[in-house]
Structure 1
Amino acid sequence: MEKNYLNWLNSHQFYGIKPGLKRIKEILKRLGNPHRYIKTIHIAGTNGKGSTASILSEILLEHGFKVGLYTSPHLIQLNERFKINGKKIENERLNEYLKYIKKNIKDYPATYFEITTALAFLYFYEEKVDIGVIECGMGGRLDATNIINPEVSIITSIGWDHTKYLGNTLEKIAHEKAGIIKRETPCVLGDLSENLIPIFQKKAEILKAPLFIVGKDFYIEFNKKNNWNYVGDHKFEDLNLNLKGYYQGNNLSCALKALEILERKEFLKITEEKLRKALGQVKVSGRYEFLNIKGKTILIDTAHNLDGFIALKSSLLKDNFKDFLLILGITNEEGDKPFVKMIEILLPLAKKIYLCEFNSPRKIVSIREWKKSLEKFPTILNKIEFVENCERAVKMGLESDFEKILVTGSIYFVGEYLKNLKFEKI
């Protein structure tokens, strides 16, 4: 790939996070408003939106549709954000789009995420996808993706994250996520605290948007065979989802309800055989993913916030995955992430902890910050070793006596760990 256009995109990271729709409207206008000519599904949520998007994409693909999938951030390579029928955009094509966008927006003050969002819409439009599955970047109401009028909206979960931009209470965060609900457009609601549901019900009522709530309008349960039973318009038993982790049940149920809504709209006819095949082959790198390397079982999971850690612990307990080496790296761009609480959640299950520094476009929790924050927690410090970079953490883990390793935290950390792990395997 020609470096200049990727460098041009990367230079926009200095603009930081700037919620708002004014800039994305102008950018898309200069590109011919490609988003207006594709059908979409829009997914928001503190956790689970990426997995939900991937599940939906795989099912729709198996049903014969040409499916665009836009997710963020990427784990290792930018191309991961833009997929059609499960395949990443090629380097040359990606560079062509960046060149074209640069030419058309000139020196317009866009953010990194606004440019990638515009690129996704342009790519999906030119490739004539039947439907695009679009994941929100952050929040909902003022997210750059919230320019679309989708066939169905999904809100998977509400939790603590990005409070600097979304608000310092769960109610405020919920209001931001509810911003993706569109007039007369069905919305699927995942597993939320009961006290937050009225926020979405009120917004849906105002906009005359049909609202479907898990546990009320559709149901999911984990059965004794370690599979999923679903009840909605359809009844499916013993669904085997290739994505592991108990928390995936909520994501699966949201995807299936959205699929049923598309069926009501006569977009497709759900075939159980195709559904089961799709669920058995869906993959999302870094989501409760097991690797076996050099005699060690390495579990990878991008649980990057408090609720993610709680969900991860629940799955670890169910799978009896304990007495492991925990390798952890966390970003704290906004300065409000409760990273000590996060480590306390996994502390009882871990025998040893490596706290790592790593390369990231966002501010990381440095070793200095870790040491200062953990001064008053001697029981935690007894288990901890500080590691100055990801490469060393990989080597130390593989050379340790631990048979089980859990690698988690920021998606940027997990991505760098996997890059270094790849070199170690060779």
Structure 2
Amino acid sequence: MQYPEAIDYLYSRLPVFHRIGAKAIKPGLGNTLALCEALDNPHQKFRSIHVAGTNGKGSTSHMLAAIYQSAGYRVGLYTSPHLKAFTERIRLNGQPISEEEVARFVTQNQNLIESIEPSFFEVTVAMAFDFFARQSVDLAIIEVGLGGRLDSTNVITPVASVITNIGLDHTDILGDTLPQIASEKAGIIKPGILAIIGETQAETLDVFLNVAKSVQAPIIQADQQYSIQDGGVVQGRRHVLVAHDKAPLQPFSLDLLGSYQLRNLPAVLATVEELQSTYPVSTTDERSALASVTSLTGLKGRFQILQEYPRVIADTAHNQAGLVALFETVRTLSYDTLRIVIGMVADKDRTNVLEVLPQSAVYYFCQAQTPRSLPVDELQREAAQLGRVGEAFVDVNEALATSLQEASSSDLILITGSNYTIAELTNL
């Protein structure tokens, strides 16, 4: 089986979340455990850091991978979903898994897959773990797919469990209150294993403290140990000063430009500090890595500037909290007219998301070419009811082309609303 056949097999044979949503989820860890057992339990053969959260878990995972990679470790990175190519989900020292490796895994394990009948995500997790074990990684950074407690990645016993924040997303699956969602995310906290909470939130802190206490896991609140002073974006880097009660003020520059990254940074720094005895990292390596995350790990779609004059920015924010954080950064920029290209998926609480969007912007509505995508005429209609008015387009590239034609050189064009919308950009 060649790579195109292998990918076609995975997509056609298995339930895929990004195509059909919650119906693709197979509750419980049984399938993943069965796959891993048949593969000689690869998840037990490498050390890992487990990262969950509503927003920021992808950026946090990439930052951690960049830091340990810069420090000379052999680092695996598992994230989802991918933007352009399936191979982006599984990386070794920043390089995607080869197409040949993917084809080999699917070919060798086709009978196993058909006997267990797992989901697409369960197979990709097993593939990643098998790859990391065979590659003898020093450390793997594993991003949770959805939730935590029942997520396929939760078969690992990591050296640290990181939870970035809690917001209202996937409420049809995880619950419709912050404490309910926090309870699902807290499922990655393991007995005796350090838990790091990135953002202290009054509604969810007790959930984490109680779960940690029940399994005798040490727990720290990263944002209570680190405070971040924003120095703004200068020469293509966001400059910050980091204050810590045990160290002098430290300057860092980030190539991830969104101001929301300042909320992710405490969890990253706390994790590295707490694991120093096991995985030593110099401040020099840490500083170098944070200035080069995109080039080291291939991260895309996080306040990514695609061009200047007019400035075009792509960001995968897709829920209320994510968009609120995104527009905090947008408001710090200078521009004449804000033009927003946006597409969304259908299984979101769209009213809360649409209300976050500025009424003064010019809108270009679109839809991704996936069954989960919200039909563009429906998005246009719902947005208009809330005073966000604009044209409708069949895809994101047509919408972007029109916005570029209508923009002056001093306008700002923002493309957002869904991972799938960003993924279909030709120039990403």
Q: Structure 2 matches for 1:44-55, cutoff 5 A?
A: 44-55=52-63
- Which residue of structure 2 aligns with residue 206 of structure 1? 214
Matched, 1:315 2:340: no
Could you give the per-residue CA deviations for residues 313-357 of structure 1, whole angstroms, max 9, x where no partner exists? 11111234562210001112xx3x23243233232452x101102
- Which residue of structure 2 aligns with residue 9 of structure 1? 10
Q: Determine helix, strand or coil for the equivalent of 1:380.
A: coil
TM, length-normalised to structure 1: 0.91
**Deviates most, 278-287 or 135-144:** 278-287
The ranges of structure 1 where at least 4 consecutive aligned residues each deviate by more than 6 angstroms after the TM superposition are: none
Q: Determine helix, strand or coil for the equivalent of 2:140.
A: strand
Q: Structure 1: 5+ residue runs without aligned partners?
A: none
Taking the aligned partners of 1:248 and 1:16, their CA distance within structure 2 comes to 31
Q: 1:355 aligns with which of 362, 365, 371?
A: 365
Could you give the per-residue CA deviations for residues 30-88 of structure 1, whole angstroms, max 9, x where no partner exists? 11110001000000000000100111101101111000000000011111111000111
Whichever residue aligns with residue 254 of structure 1, its letter is A
Contact persistence 2:317–2:418 (CA under 8 A): yes
Whichever residue aligns with residue 159 of structure 1, its letter is G
Taking the aligned partners of 1:367 and 1:68, their CA distance within structure 2 comes to 38
Cα 1:187–1:342 shift into 2, 3 Å? same
Cα distance, 1:190 vs. partner? 1.2
- Which residue of structure 2 aligns with residue 364 of structure 1? 373
Cα 1:316–1:374 shift into 2, 3 Å? closer
Cα 1:322–1:81 shift into 2, 3 Å? farther
Whichever residue aligns with residue 330 of structure 1, its letter is M
Contact persistence 2:200–2:223 (CA under 8 A): no
Could you give the per-residue CA deviations for residues 73-127 of structure 1, whole angstroms, max 9, x where no partner exists? 0011111111000111111122112222324333322001100000000000000
Cα 1:217–1:207 shift into 2, 3 Å? farther
User: Aligned pairs, how many?
Assistant: 409
Contact persistence 1:156–1:191 (CA under 8 A): yes
Whichever residue aligns with residue 277 of structure 1, its letter is S
Contact persistence 2:178–2:203 (CA under 8 A): no
Q: 1:390 aligns with which of 374, 387, 396?
A: 396
Aligned-pair Cα RMSD in Å? 1.9
Q: Determine helix, strand or coil for the equivalent of 1:331.
A: coil
Cα 1:242–1:56 shift into 2, 3 Å? same
Q: Structure 2: 5+ residue runs without aligned partners?
A: 17-22
- Which residue of structure 1 aligns with residue 90 of structure 2? 82
Whichever residue aligns with residue 82 of structure 2, its letter is H
Cα distance, 1:19 vs. partner? 3.1
Taking the aligned partners of 1:321 and 1:302, their CA distance within structure 2 comes to 21
Contact persistence 1:52–1:255 (CA under 8 A): yes
Contact persistence 2:310–2:404 (CA under 8 A): yes
Contact persistence 2:46–2:133 (CA under 8 A): yes
Cα distance, 1:223 vs. partner? 4.1
Taking the aligned partners of 1:204 and 1:172, their CA distance within structure 2 comes to 16
Contact persistence 1:223–1:238 (CA under 8 A): no
Cα 1:380–1:348 shift into 2, 3 Å? closer
Taking the aligned partners of 1:211 and 1:349, their CA distance within structure 2 comes to 43
- Which residue of structure 2 aligns with residue 280 of structure 1? 291
Q: Determine helix, strand or coil for the equivalent of 2:424.
A: helix
Cα 1:256–1:300 shift into 2, 3 Å? same
- Which residue of structure 1 aligns with residue 64 of structure 2? 56
Q: 2:306 aligns with which of 274, 277, 291?
A: 291
Cα distance, 1:289 vs. partner? 0.9
Whichever residue aligns with residue 289 of structure 1, its letter is Q
Matched, 1:220 2:221: no
Cα distance, 1:368 vs. partner? 3.2
Cα 1:412–1:322 shift into 2, 3 Å? farther
Taking the aligned partners of 1:327 and 1:374, their CA distance within structure 2 comes to 13
Cα distance, 1:219 vs. partner? 3.2
Could you give the per-residue CA deviations for residues 221-258 of structure 1, whole angstroms, max 9, x where no partner exists? 32478423142654451111111111101212111111
Cα 1:353–1:371 shift into 2, 3 Å? closer
Identity in percent: 32
Cα distance, 1:385 vs. partner? 0.8
Taking the aligned partners of 1:79 and 1:127, their CA distance within structure 2 comes to 16
Taking the aligned partners of 1:92 and 1:38, their CA distance within structure 2 comes to 22
Could you give the per-residue CA deviations for residues 7-30 of structure 1, whole angstroms, max 9, x where no partner exists? 111121356123321111111111
Could you give the per-residue CA deviations for residues 247-274 of structure 1, whole angstroms, max 9, x where no partner exists? 10121211111111111xx212231111
Could you give the per-residue CA deviations for residues 348-377 of structure 1, whole angstroms, max 9, x where no partner exists? 452x101102212x5111123224424533
Contact persistence 1:30–1:105 (CA under 8 A): no
Taking the aligned partners of 1:391 and 1:374, their CA distance within structure 2 comes to 20
TM, length-normalised to structure 2: 0.91
Q: Determine helix, strand or coil for the equivalent of 1:347.
A: coil
Taking the aligned partners of 2:15 and 2:114, their CA distance within structure 1 comes to 16
- Which residue of structure 2 aligns with residue 373 of structure 1? 382
- Which residue of structure 1 aligns with residue 20 of structure 2? none
Taking the aligned partners of 1:151 and 1:326, their CA distance within structure 2 comes to 41
Cα distance, 1:275 vs. partner? 1.3
**Deviates most, 180-189 or 9-18:** 9-18
Whichever residue aligns with residue 370 of structure 1, its letter is L
Q: 2:139 aligns with which of 131, 145, 151?
A: 131
Q: Structure 2 matches for 1:23-42, cutoff 5 A?
A: 23-42=31-50
Taking the aligned partners of 1:154 and 1:349, their CA distance within structure 2 comes to 38
**Deviates most, 396-405 or 203-212:** 396-405
Whichever residue aligns with residue 114 of structure 1, its letter is E
Whichever residue aligns with residue 289 of structure 2, its letter is A
